[in-house]
Chain A
Amino acid sequence: MPFNSLPYLVLLAVAVVLYWLLPAPFRRLFVLVASMAFYASWGIIFVWVPLAVAGLVYLISKQIAVDPAKPKSWLWLGVSSLLALLVFFKYRGFLALNLNLLAPLFGVPHFSVGGAIAFPMGISFYTFEAIGYLIDVRQGRVKMPKFLDLVLFFLFWPNILSGPIVRARELMPQLDFNKAFEGRFFFEGLDRVIWGLVQKVVIANVLGIWVDKGFAQTVTALPFTMDGWFLAIAFGLQIYFDFAGYTNMAIGTARLLGVTLPENFRQPYHAATPPEFWARWHMTLSRWIRDYLFFPINAKWQSASLPLYLSLLGVMALVGLWHGAGWNFILWGALHGSYLVLYRMYESWKPLLATGSNSQFARGIWRLLTLIGVACAWVVFRAPTMAKAGAILSSMFYRLSAGRAFGPGFYAFTSLVVLFCVVEPTVLQRLSAIEGRAGSTGPSPFRILVRPLAYLFGLLLFLLFDQNNAQFIYSQF
């Protein structure tokens, strides 16, 4: 059951009312049952997967916690079992396909992985949470929990599908659900849920209609230059509003239960450098990669230049692979890795290159390069084939041709969304200032009138625009 569906919204309202009516000791059981039911709505057969992950993590962490001085073998056993589960469900087809391409070279028979199997929703997300959890146990950062706590941690329905990827130490202490109801949970939660809905159905889904047409494999002609650029920008906006919309709904759903989940976005297209983009985009994945991969690797190599550059490329290619079993995702990640390497090289040469006034100029250049680089990488990410990605990228840079293939609505809507992104931080600041003033004196016209009207308007937009009930893009990862 997707977040952006009327049945989910109705059930969410019922669940939130029941949750707050229940005495605190019963809320855990209620959230556990609701989470299992929510996950089962995507395929009852897969409920065993997060339960198995919880069971495995429980057994392994018990071994680690008994004696943290033990060799790392228990940690490795846990991590490799979790990765094996992920590979089985997500990458076995991709692996077999690529191994079969190599098979004739070595004279070995073709691999067969059987028919295609469905995919347990959110497995990439909760597998990463599980790996992080085991490492945290090994580092003595979390205490040994009860089995039920772990089940609840992995199955918690607001974030099981597509994150935010949470750490045990930030979510587990909240899973006793013993807070008393506060009005702000209601307003903060609804703000995020409704705004997330609008981001998804009014912005992402509408852009998606044009993006799907532009990237369709059947369209073989070289796009016009303006169309190439608009398609790259439109997909960048679509995936941002889609994922940010999902994340807002996830954070909002948790907030309605009085639980705080970490943020995942901070206006990523305002980033001035490639590292800043990753500090603003999918922040909980970036944090996971930083804490459990990048930092330990570079700590070992004392951040020497060559290992640093290789680790940036390798880790970002893995980030790409995490998104999907395809070479386009790996290339997308490697492209981002190369942007990060270029920026690090520039940083190490900066003392020789930049002084005073021209450093401002360099910052402007980096801002532009970052946006162009991110847009080009989105083309690779979205295109159904490398040939299609090549055609769009070449139309953007050197096979220049005037003309346009879309109606004016596409260009106008995309430009409007770009404009919205530009003014978004100012709008949010103003809203927060108004809210601050209104909040300081108790009930106010803003709280009593404007907010409910905004919620109604958001719901109306959802009902008007939600024609195709399109899935969130990141739920496929």
Chain B
Amino acid sequence: MLPDSTTIRNAAREAASELTRRPIKEGQRLVSSGLIDSLSVLKLISLLEKKLHVTIPPETLQPEDFDDLDLIVETVEKVAKPLA
């Protein structure tokens, strides 16, 4: 089963803070503001997979799907699959 949206949001906030080494606020733009680049998005995906015990297939995703916490939650809920 997929984690609930609060767990995903907390994991996303932690992962983004780890990558940027700064606290992440609600609504803060990550990709379009240049705070993280496309390679960091791939690292963010891999951190989320570890924290949430899910797989996130990135083939149909674009970096701006991870532009803020709301979008990350929405994207994870849409495409993530729980680890068997």
Residues of A within 8 A of B (CB): 138-139, 141, 275-276, 279, 290-291, 294-296, 298-300, 302-303, 308, 344
Contact = CB atoms under 8 A, between A and B. Distances in A.
15 contacts: A138-B60, A139-B60, A275-B37, A279-B34, A291-B64, A295-B41, A295-B61, A296-B59, A298-B39, A299-B45, A299-B58, A299-B59, A302-B46, A303-B42, A303-B43
A38 to B, nearest CB: 30
Nearest to A300: B59
SS of B interface (majority)? helix
Contacts of B60: 138-139
Interface string B56-72: 00111111100000000
SS of A interface (majority)? helix
B28 interface: no
A313 B38 CA distance: 16
B23 to A, nearest CB: 21
B63 A303 contact: no
B39 A291 contact: no
B59 A279 contact: no
Contacts of A299: 42, 45, 58-59, 61
Contacts, number: 39
Nearest to A308: B39
A299 B58 CA distance: 6
Interface of B: 34, 37-39, 41-43, 45-46, 58-64
Contacts of B42: 295, 298-299, 302-303
Contact of B38 (A139, A276, A295, A302): A295
A290 B63 contact: yes
A302 B41 CA distance: 11
Contacts of B58: 295-296, 299
B63 to A, nearest CB: 6
Contacts of A291: 62-64
B37 to A, nearest CB: 6
Contacts of B61: 295, 299
A395 B76 CA distance: 55
B34 A295 contact: no
A76 to B, nearest CB: 15
A138 B59 CA distance: 12
B76 to A, nearest CB: 15
Nearest to B62: A291
Contacts of A308: 39
Given A291-B63, A295-B38, 16 more contacts: A138-B60, A275-B37, A279-B34, A279-B37, A290-B63, A291-B62, A291-B64, A295-B61, A295-B62, A295-B63, A298-B38, A298-B39, A298-B42, A299-B42, A299-B45, A303-B43
Nearest to B39: A303
B31 to A, nearest CB: 9
Q: Which of A138, A275, A291, A295 counts the most B-chain CB atoms under 10 A from its CB?
A: A295
Q: Which of B38, B41, B60 counts the most A-chain CB atoms under 10 A from its CB?
A: B38
Nearest to A275: B37
A196 to B, nearest CB: 23
A302 B42 CA distance: 7
A265 to B, nearest CB: 14
A277 to B, nearest CB: 12
Nearest to A141: B62
A308 B42 CA distance: 12
